[in-house]
Amino acid sequence: MADAICLIIRKAPYGKIHAAEAVRHVNGAMASGLETRVILMGDGVYLARGNQETAKAGWTSLSGTLSQVPEAKGGENARFYVHQESLADRGLDPHGLMEAFQVIPDQDMARLVAGCKKVLLF
Q: Which residues bind other proteins (CB under 8 A)?
A: 3, 5, 17-18, 21, 24-25, 27-29, 31-32, 34, 118-122
Where are the strands (E) in the chain, listed by range? 5-9, 36-40, 78-83, 101-104, 118-121
The DSSP result for 53-78, as a single string, is: --GGGTPPPHHHHHHHGGGSTTGGGE
- Encoded amino acid at 114, one letter: A
Angle in degrees, CA 59, 104, 82, rounded to 5: 5
What minimum distance in Å lies between the beta carbon of 118 and other proteins?
A: 5
Residue closer to other proteins (CB basis): 9 or 104: 9
What minimum distance in Å lies between the beta carbon of 113 and other proteins?
A: 14
Residue closer to other proteins (CB basis): 90 or 118: 118
What minimum distance in Å lies between the beta carbon of 76 and other proteins?
A: 17
Residue closer to other proteins (CB basis): 24 or 79: 24
What minimum distance in Å lies between the beta carbon of 59 and other proteins?
A: 14
How far apart are alpha carbons 61 and 52 in whole angstroms?
6
